[in-house]
Every structure is written in structure tokens, then in C-alpha cells.
A and B are shown apart, each in its own frame.
Chain A
């Protein structure tokens, strides 16, 4: 058995049925992250965005995640309870396909940091300003097990896939070159 590690998982539970579409989350997020703090606000800088289509009754608060340099090869549309959600509606990435989650002037990507600050806030500001409980903050502790055998297995599965695609010889050559470089 491997070593056990503890990790705090911070979650914002999003209930789209409770969202009243007011965008207070965007206001307070952009104000909190302004420099100096609260000196300005601008929803275009917010790290949470409500994807809104009022006449289609669509309101989805989405948080900025990782930046990605390339857009997806395919884009999906979801129909849930008879409502069609546009491609990317639930995606957290700042990506070339759209303007959201990018600084309006520089185009630099934005990412939600759960309002990390010192001292810690009770909950992220968007949650504090959402009186309708569409956004609820939760933390939980998870135990992560470090299992060396499992990790070795993952490597092998990966290599096997590469070998299937490119042939074993190519993979061996690549590994050999990499080990020379490292050496």
C-alpha cells in the first residue's frame, strides 16, 4: 500500500434552477479582483460568467478554468429538459473560440482562484453575494492514495497505446533518445 495524503477539495455547487440571472456574482468577482481591491468593477473581467438566454430560460453560471491554446475539434450541444444549451455552455476554459474568461484589454486568460486571500474568506465572494443559493460553497477532505504499482501500470497502458499507434520500434527509439538526453 502506498502513502496516504489529505487534500481539501473546494467546490461551488451550482444550482441553475435557482439562478435568477442577476449577475451579482460577476459584479462582485470583478470588484474583488480589482487592483486595488474593490476600486473598480467590470463583469467582462469576472472569473464567473452567467451564460444567459432569458427568452430560452437558460442561466448557467460557469467558472473560469484552465487556459487552452487550441479550441476543441468538435463542439457539442446539449438538450436538457427540452432546452438546448449552446456549444461550450458548460466549459470552463479560456480558449480561442470565445471571448469569455479573458481580460478585455490584454486578452490574457482569467482563472477562478476561489477568492484565495490571506486571511481566508469564509466563502468565495460570488457565493456570499448569491442570496438565492444558486451558488453554494462546500469543502470536503479527500484522502489520496499514492500507489506506486498503480502508477507503473498507468505508464504501461500509455506506452502500449503509443506502440499500437506508431509501432513498438518508434516508441523504443523515442525512449532511448529521451534517456540519453536525461543522462
Chain B
């Protein structure tokens, strides 16, 4: 009997219309856990580097995490994995919501899609009944609209729907997969879904999920619930409100946006507005949100309320979470009312809320500087808000200049030329980043920006405070109940960390300490992505309820796999290394691993080199960031080493070229 997992995957060939239910191997679960871990193994085995994002042989995997569908609070992530059209590398965005548990209850751990359907289809999964159905009536429909139509069509309001909008259908490189209150947004996985002709996956399940040692497991779940309650009642003092509690940053709840609006950049990640947040604006924005937001909402089995129901008179209702609240507002130099309104349309179209506004702000900057002209933007409205709607509509339809912009700032700049590349200034590994421009190098963040392979800072940071506490007493207070640290040495790092003087940034934490801190933070994200746990209850916030000490117990008593901290850390390192191996095999090298040039004003090239050299060694990678033969063997990844050898990756220069053209271009 399999515990926590179902033991079965669905293999769907969209070219041939073939559907198979295939038993998966419990030995793989033990090595790679599940979710991202086993997805990475499948991608390594079945998608060689010659396959690009829009090849029919690219896989699109929807996976529930190992513990999804058990009573583990907040464990509801769907990990979607494929090759990104934007980066040519592995994309592994995830989404919360209700989809992954429903897939488990239907009896499957993963849905693995390959091939392409010539006509638009949707996949319907209801326990043993799995069908590929015609979706021609859904062409061009919004993501929420699609979900609504499909729930009626299958006559089941409990069916969970993951769908793409027009952006995915038209293979916009930053198209998302939307699922009501959640979305898997980064790196263009919605474009891959659209390329495969798949409009939506509808899932409904009414089967049991078993756990191995029920009483023990339930005890752990109850402890987590109690801890959440305690943390909610006792926010962490001395940090800004959005970092004091649990969950994603509570953007739907909190009205005070002084910190974001005055510290994050406006427009094309250019302008800092230091005195923006006035009393009048606070009042106006509070009124806007209070009027539009009808309820705070959650993902499956989670008491946190990170999402909001947004109903604006005259517009269809939609569900929002987190920072997309401000990305459109700030990119367009507008107000919250505009931000909430355009986000409604953007959600229906299905675009990433980080990339889309930046692409549009980038286009307008090019226009203001004469690089794009009236010829490129016929009938461009005169107001900023109007221009954003105009560009959004063009991009998702790939009309005119929209066809170029739909590839993201990196590829668009290359195609436009005339110096446009200077304006695509906020990318890492070809993906638009949060609009932050800061003064002095932060060594911890430097490493995370460089090496994060989800290529999004929020998906690697967490656990360790972002800034030192000014007073020693505050630090002492903070470490008192800091049970989450893997080892007490982390407490010492924090105790000695000063805002000024010898023990301050960028030289303190020291290079080895930075490696240690980054490795811990990243490890927790990777564990979450395999188990299906929300980062908001684990890897992202300070002092979360899930941590390296209770996770092994969850896995042992839940999935029935003997686990301890060392074995769990090793498993996480194994599939983390495999993710890197996939990207290395696809051409990623050290030169790709750097933050935007202008991210910090004060840079320290020697220190940065030392940080990266040391971190690579710490991780078991060579000076190019390639996992060494020995470190691969230590993790039982001998097969990766053999493949590297065969391809000449480890022999020195490595022969896989970095992708030089956007996916699919050669074939179009």
C-alpha cells in the first residue's frame, strides 16, 4: 500500500490522443520525494537538451506534492514543470489553490503531458474516467470564464480547473496557468500549455488518501495548527508588518503600502518615489481596496488568508493574491484603482503579474525614447493607463508590436535593436525580476539572485532576517524561540550581525556564513516544492510552523518512508543538483548567474567573485557552476556524471550551446 501518494501517474499523449495510467516507482519517491523532485527526474530522463520548449517532445508535468491531500495544513501546491520558452531552462512554477489535492483524491500523483493536439482540447479527470475533450468553444476565453463554463459543462461545482487564457493560447512567453485564486506564472509555462493545444485540465476526485501512522501524523498536524495560531497572535516585533506574520506577504489584508511604494521602483524599474505615501494616498487606496475586496480567502486546508475576492462594479469578479496588487499600479505610475482593474483583465488573459507590467513599462520607455515609434504603436492612447490596456491587448493577441513584446523584455530588446537592450535592464537569466534597485551589495541576496534556479527572489529567500536588528537585545529576543534553525550556529550569525561597523554588510556575514545561510534558505524551498507545501507556511516567512526538524517526521509518519534530517537534506540536495544538471546540460554557466548590473549601486567585484567561488565549492560545483563528478556520485547521481562526460560538459568548455534564439523561432 502507498501512503500519502497514490502511486499512479497519468501519461497523456496529446498528439495521438492516448491516455495511460502508469504506476510510479516507490524507490524514486524515496530518492526524490515527489513534486519537483520526481518531476526533475522525469525531465532529466525524458527531455534531452535538444528538445526546446515548443517541441512536441517537451513534457508539461502537473504534479501534486508528496503530502498534498493529507491533512498537513497548507499542503496544496501543484508543481508544474516544463522547459521554459523564455529561458530555455527548466521552469518549475507552482500554484496553490485546490487543484493538487483534488488530483490526489482522483487517484493520481502527476499528469504528464506530451505531444500537441492539433485542435484545442481540455482534459477531464474524474477518478477512473479520463477524457480528452474538444475545447474549440473555449478558444479566446478568459481563464476564470473557462473554469466557470467547464464546471457547468461537467455539472460539478467541486471540480477544480487549471486553465490558460488568451496569452497561453498565443504562446506569450510570460503566460500563466490560472486556477481561481492561484496561478503558476513564471517562465512561460502557460505558453507551453497553449502550444500543446491544451486549454484546461478539469479534475474531480472522491477517493481516500492514506497516511502510514495516523495518530502520529495527526499529532504533528495539530502541533502545526497550534503553532500557526500562536504566531498569528504574536507577530514578530521589529520587522515590517508584511514580514511579521505567516503566509505570503499579506497584501490583500494590509493597507499600509509605504514600504513597497517608496522602496520598490516605479515604471520600467527606474524611479524611486521616496515621499510617495502621503495621508491622502493612504486614505484613497484604503478606500479602493475596502470597496473592491469582498472577502479574504485561502487555499485548500489553510487558515491563512493570503488571497482576496475582488469585485469592482462593472467588471467580473476575480481572485487576487500577493504583490500583483501593486505591480501594474507601479509600472504605470498610476493608482491602486487602476492596478486592481487591469489585473482583472490580465488574470483572464493569464499573464505573469511580475513580467507583464514590466514588459509594458519597457515598451513605453522605448517609445518615449524614440526607439519604438508611432509606426510601431498605431493609435496609442495618450494616457498611461490607456497605454497599458492597449499594450496588454496587443501582447496577448501577438498583434503588431505585441508579437515582439510577447517574448519578454530580453528577446524583444534583441529583436527591436537600436539600443533597446539597455532598457531590458532588470533581468536575470532572461526573466524580469522584482523592480528593486538598492544602494549597497547584500552578500546573501547576491548569492540568491545569482544561483536561484527558479529565477525569482521570493522563491529562494526566507527564514533568515533580511536586515540585522539594530539592538543586541532585539537579536537575543529573536533567537530565544528560533527553533527552526538547523543548527545553533545560525543564531550566532544573527547575534553578531550589526547594521554598522565591523560586523556589517557586505563583509559580514562572512563568505562561509553567507553560503551556509543561502543553502539553508534554498533547501527549505526545495523541500516545500517536493512535498507540495506552501512557502508561506514554511520556507518564506520568519519562524514558520514547518521546518527541518518536523519535516522528517511528517514524511515518516505520512508517507511511511523512514526519514531523518540528514536523509531529507540529502534528498533535497539530490534533486536540487538534478535541477542544476538539467540547466547545465542546456547551456547554463557561470556567466548567466548574476544579478542585474544596476541592482546595487555599490558593488564589490572581488567579494562577489569570492562569494560565488566559495558557494559553488560549498555546493559541490566547479568554477563554472557545474556539479562535479564526485559530488554527483555522492548523491547517487552517477548517471548525470556519465551523461556530462558523454556530452563533454565536464571536460572543460562544455559543448551545449546556450540557447541563442527564442523557443520555436527556427521552426516558425
Contacts and interface: CB of A to CB of B under 8 A. Distances in A.
A51 B303 CA distance: 17
Nearest to A100: B158
Interface of B: prevailing SS: loop
A62 to B, nearest CB: 13
Interface stretch (A53-61, A114-122, A164-172, A174-182): A53-61
A132 interface: yes
B229 A131 contact: yes
B157 interface: yes
Interface string A36-79: 11111111110000011111110100000000000000000000
The 8 closest A-B pairs by CB, nearest first: A44-B206, A38-B214, A131-B303, A22-B298, A104-B206, A40-B208, A20-B298, A42-B208
Contacts of B208: 34, 40-42, 45
Contacts of A41: 69-71, 208-209
Contacts of A132: 303, 305
B66 to A, nearest CB: 15
Given A54-B319, A55-B318, A129-B225, A38 B303 contact: no
Interface stretch (B20-28, B80-88, B289-297, B367-375): B289-297
A20 B297 contact: yes
B311 interface: yes
A55 B311 CA distance: 9
B309 A57 contact: yes
A112 interface: no
12 contacts: A27-B71, A27-B301, A40-B208, A41-B71, A41-B208, A41-B209, A44-B105, A44-B207, A51-B157, A52-B157, A54-B180, A55-B180
Contacts of A94: none
Given A55-B148, A104-B206, A40 B303 contact: no
Contacts of A55: 144, 148, 180, 316-319
Contacts of B158: 52
B300 A23 contact: yes
A42 B225 contact: no
Given A34-B208, A54-B180, A54-B181, A43 B105 contact: yes
A147 to B, nearest CB: 46
A52 B309 CA distance: 13
Given A40-B208, A57-B311, A104-B206, A22 B214 contact: no
A53 B214 contact: no
B299 interface: yes
A41 B221 CA distance: 13
A63 B157 CA distance: 18
Contacts of A24: 73, 301-303
A20 B296 CA distance: 6
Contacts of B300: 22-23
Interface string B174-218: 000000110000000000000000000000011111110011011
A53 B294 CA distance: 13
Interface of B: 69-71, 73, 98, 105, 144, 148, 157-158, 180-181, 205-211, 214-215, 217-218, 225, 228-229, 232, 294-303, 305, 309, 311, 316-319
Contact of B217 (A38, A45, A51): A38
Contact of A22 (B205, B210, B299): B299
B209 A40 contact: yes
Contact of A36 (B98, B144, B214, B298): B214
Given A28-B71, A56-B317, A132-B303, A21 B298 contact: yes
A126 interface: no
B558 to A, nearest CB: 11
A39 B218 CA distance: 9
Interface in A13-40: 20-24, 27-28, 31, 34, 36-40
Nearest to B216: A38
Contacts of A43: 105
**Among B105, B158, B211, B296: residue with most chain A CB under 10 A:** B158
**Interface residue tally on A, bucketed by range:** 20 to 34
B303 A20 contact: yes
A39 B297 contact: no
A21 B305 CA distance: 10
**Among A36, A37, A54, A57: residue with most chain B CB under 10 A:** A54
Nearest to B210: A40
B210 to A, nearest CB: 5
Contacts of B301: 22-24, 27
B90 to A, nearest CB: 31
Contacts of B318: 55
Contacts of B180: 54-55
Nearest to A39: B214
B11 to A, nearest CB: 25
Contacts of B206: 42, 44, 104
Contact of B207 (A36, A42, A51, A54): A42
B218 A38 contact: yes
A16 to B, nearest CB: 10
A44 B159 CA distance: 12
A31 B209 CA distance: 10
Nearest to B222: A128
Given A52-B157, A57-B295, A38 B211 contact: yes
Contacts of B98: 23
B295 A42 contact: no
Nearest to B207: A42
A57 B294 contact: yes
B67 to A, nearest CB: 12
**Among B98, B214, B232: residue with most chain A CB under 10 A:** B214
A7 B21 CA distance: 54
Given A28-B71, A54-B297, A42 B211 contact: no
B309 A54 contact: yes
A135 B316 CA distance: 29
A31 B206 CA distance: 14
Given A22-B299, A54-B309, A104-B206, A40 B211 contact: yes
Contacts of B218: 31, 38
A60 B264 CA distance: 39
B618 to A, nearest CB: 39
Given A20-B298, A44-B206, A38 B73 contact: no
